[in-house]
Amino acid sequence: MDPTLLAQEVTAAGGVLSLSWLVIALPLLGAAVLLLGGRRTDHWGHLLGVATPALAFLLAAVQFFALLGRDAEQRAVSTQLFSWVPVGGFDVDVGLLLDPLSMCFVLLITGVGSLIHLYSIGYMEHDPQRRRFFGYLNLFVAAMLLLVLADNYLVLYVGWEGVGLASYLLIGFWQYKPTAATAAKKAFVVNRVGDFGMSLAIMLMFATFGATSFAAVFAGAEQASETTLSVLGLLLLLAACGKSAQFPLQSWLLDAMEGPTPVSALIHAATMVTAGVYLVVRSNAIFDAAPVAQVAVVAVGAVTLLFGAVIGCAKDDIKKALAGSTMSQIGYMMLAAGLGPAGYAFAIFHLLTHGFFKAGLFLGAGSVMHGMHDEVNMRRYGGLRAAMGITYATFILGYLAIIGVFPFAGFWSKDKIIEAAFAENTVTGIVALLGAGITAFYMTRVILMTFFGERRWAEGVHPHESPLSMTVPLMALGGLSVVGGALAWNDGIVRWLEPVVGHEEHELFLPVWAFSLMTLVVVGAGVLLAFRQYGRRRVPAYAPAASPLTVAARQDLYGDAFNEAVFMRPGGRLTRALGFFDVRGIDGAVNGVAALVGAGSGRVRRLQTGFVRSYALSMLGGAVLIVAALLLVRL
C-alpha cells in the first residue's frame, strides 16, 4: 500500500468547508420546488433550475480555494450530518467527505452542469414540460453530488440509485415516444444488474469489516485476505460496469440517446457514466490489494475502449456515434484506473477533460439538431459549417480535443493513459493506441458528414444558428476543451490527487516524446483514412452495403442480440416453464384434490336415502360394531 495514503488525515470541517451539505441541498431544493410547485412555477422554473447548480458551483469554487490553501495532507475534511442507521453494533452516519478527489467531481458536476442547464433553457424552450425537465435535472445534480460527497458506501449507494432514477426519468422524458419509454426501462434494468453488484459489495463489506464507511473499510482492507478483496473488487467492478456502460453492461447507453440532448450531454457523457470510474478510484485501497480485480478492470476498460470505438465508426445517428465514443473514452478511464496508483490520477484527468469536450460535442450535436428540425441522421446533414458558425467552431474545438491533437485537452490526458498502458504491458498499450486511431477516424467522420461536403438536407429544412443561451455554454465548453490540459501543468492534478489515490511513476522503455509522436502518427492515420472515405467521396443518402464488421457495428456489435439470446429468451422460457408448472403442477394438485373430494362426496351422499329405517339399521350396525370392538379389546 502506498505510504502517502496513510499520510492523509481526515479533519473535521470548519468555516466554508462545513457547507458541503449546502452544495447538495441547493439543487435538491430546486428539484423539490419545481416538481412539487406544479404549473405555478412554469414561468420562472427554468431560471431557478439554472440558479441552484450555479450557486452550488460558486460555493464549490470557494471551497476549492479554501482546500487549496491548506497543506496537502490536510485537504480531506469530513462533515457529520446525522446518525442514520444506529442498530446495535452497526452504525451508519450520514457524513460528507470533501477531499481533492470529490472536489474534482463537485466542480465538474456543478460547473458543466450549470452550463448544460443554461443551454437547456434555449433547447427546451418550446417544450411544454420544460419545468419538469429542469426539476429532474436538478434532482440528478443533487443525487450525483451526494454520490461523490458521501463518506461511506451506504450513503454513496443512495446517490448511486438517485442518479439511476434521474437517468431513467430523463431518458424517458418524452414518454409518449415508445422508443424513449423502452430505452428508459432498458437503462434502468441493465443498471439494476450493476446495482446488484454494488449492494452485494456493501453487504460483503459489512460482513467482513463490520462497517461501510470509507475510513473503516480502507483501514480493514489492509488486514483482509486477498480473496475477500478480489471478490469485493470484482463486485465493485460489476457496479461500475453498469453505471459506466462498460462491457458487458454497455447495451443501455446507445439507446439512452432517446432522451433530450442536454441529458445525453450531462448524464450520459460528462457526469453520471463516470460514476463507475469514481467508484474504482475511490476504492483504490481495495483494488491496490487485489491484483485479480485490477486485471479485470484493465480488461474491461480495454475491451470497452475498442467496442465503443468500433460502434462509433458505423453509426449514422450523430448522438449514437458520440455515445459509442463516450463508451470508448470511459473505457480509457477504466483502463487507467485499473493500472493502480500509476493510473488513478490520469483516469480522473481524462475524466475531467472528457467532461469538457464531450459535453461540448453533445451540446454541439444538440445545436445542430435544433437547427435541423430534430434530424439526427448525419446522412441528412452536410455543409452545415456556413449555416451555424459558432456551433461549427466549438464543435471543431471539441473534436481536436477528443482526438488528442497538441495542445488541446485530450492530447495531454489521453497521452498519459497511453503511456501508462504501455508501462503496464505492451498489449494494453497497443489497444490504447489503436483506440486513439479509431477515435480519430470516427470523429473525423462525424465532422465531415455534418459540417462539410454537399448539402443533403431534407426538404423544407432551413438550418440556423441557435440562440445565445445555447451558444454561450458551447463557447465555454469549447474554451475548456482548449485549456483543460493545463490541469496537468507541472503535474498539478497528480499532486492534487496524490493524498487520496497515491502516485507512482511508471517506467517506460522509450522517452515520453516518442509515445506522443507515435500517438499523433496513429491519430493522423485515422484522420486521413476518414478523409479518404468521407471527405473525397460523396456520402450516400442511405447506408450502403458494407463489410461484416460494419454491419455488426451498426447493430451495436450484436450486444442486444447476445443479451436477447443468452438472457432474455432463456429467461422467457424459464418463466413460461414456471408458469406451466404453476398452472399444471401446483394448481393441478390443488384442483385435483378438490375434484377428488367432490367426486367422493358425490358418491358417499347416496347413502343419505331419506329412509328412516335404513338410518336405524346403520345405527344398530354401528352399535353392534362398537360393542363387538369393546368385547374384543377386553379379551
Partner 1 sequence: MNPANYVYLSALLFTIGAAGVLLRRNAIVVFMCIELMLNATNLAFVAFARMNGNLDGQIIAFFVMVVAAAEVVIGLAIIVTIFRTRRSASVDDASLLKY
The site for partner 1 (CB under 8 A) is made up of 605-606, 608-613, 616-617, 620
| Residue whose CB is less far from partner 1, 458 or 623 | 623
Q: Look at residue 290 and give its three-state secondary structure.
A: coil
| Residue whose CB is less far from partner 1, 555 or 614 | 614
Shortest CB 607 distance to partner 1, Å = 8
Shortest CB 599 distance to partner 1, Å = 14
Shortest CB 632 distance to partner 1, Å = 20
| Residue whose CB is less far from partner 1, 12 or 623 | 623
| Residue whose CB is less far from partner 1, 43 or 606 | 606
Strand order through the sheet with 10-12: 10-12, 76-87, 90-98
Shortest CB 606 distance to partner 1, Å = 6
| Residue whose CB is less far from partner 1, 89 or 610 | 610
**Residue 170 contacts residue 267 (beta carbons within 8 Å):** yes
CA distances from 170 to 184, 434, 463 (A): 8, 34, 27
**Which residues have C-beta within 8 Å of that of residue 95, sequence separation ≥ 6?**
78, 79, 80, 81, 150, 151, 152, 155, 213
| Residue whose CB is less far from partner 1, 176 or 611 | 611
**Residue 293 contacts residue 286 (beta carbons within 8 Å):** yes
| Residue whose CB is less far from partner 1, 575 or 618 | 618
d(CA 550, CA 586): 50
Neighbouring C-alpha atoms within 13 Å toward the C-beta of 546: 15
| Residue whose CB is less far from partner 1, 566 or 617 | 617
Shortest CB 614 distance to partner 1, Å = 9
**Which residues have C-beta within 8 Å of that of residue 117, sequence separation ≥ 6?**
49, 50, 53, 54, 134, 137, 262
Shortest CB 625 distance to partner 1, Å = 15
Phi, psi (deg, nearest 5) at residue 71: -70, 155
| Residue whose CB is less far from partner 1, 578 or 617 | 617
The dihedral over CA atoms of 563, 564, 568, 574, expressed in degrees to the nearest 10, equals -110
Neighbours of 139 (CB within 10 A): 23
| Residue whose CB is less far from partner 1, 223 or 608 | 608
Query: What secondary structure letter does DSSP report for 539?
Result: P
**Residue 236 contacts residue 286 (beta carbons within 8 Å):** yes
| Residue whose CB is less far from partner 1, 513 or 611 | 611
Helical spans, DSSP H, in 339-467: 344-371, 389-403, 409-424, 426-451
Shortest CB 577 distance to partner 1, Å = 43
| Residue whose CB is less far from partner 1, 126 or 605 | 605
**Which residues have C-beta within 8 Å of that of residue 560, sequence separation ≥ 6?**
251
Nearest to 146 by CA among 333, 16, 271: 271
d(CA 400, CA 519): 14
- The H or E element that residue 88 is part of is none
* Rg of the Cα atoms in the chain: 31
Shortest CB 568 distance to partner 1, Å = 56
Shortest CB 612 distance to partner 1, Å = 5
| Residue whose CB is less far from partner 1, 426 or 614 | 614
Phi, psi (deg, nearest 5) at residue 28: -65, -40
Nearest to 494 by CA among 616, 307, 385, 350: 350
Shortest CB 192 distance to partner 1, Å = 59
Shortest CB 608 distance to partner 1, Å = 5
Shortest CB 626 distance to partner 1, Å = 15
d(CA 394, CA 450): 13
Q: Look at residue 94 and give its three-state secondary structure.
A: strand
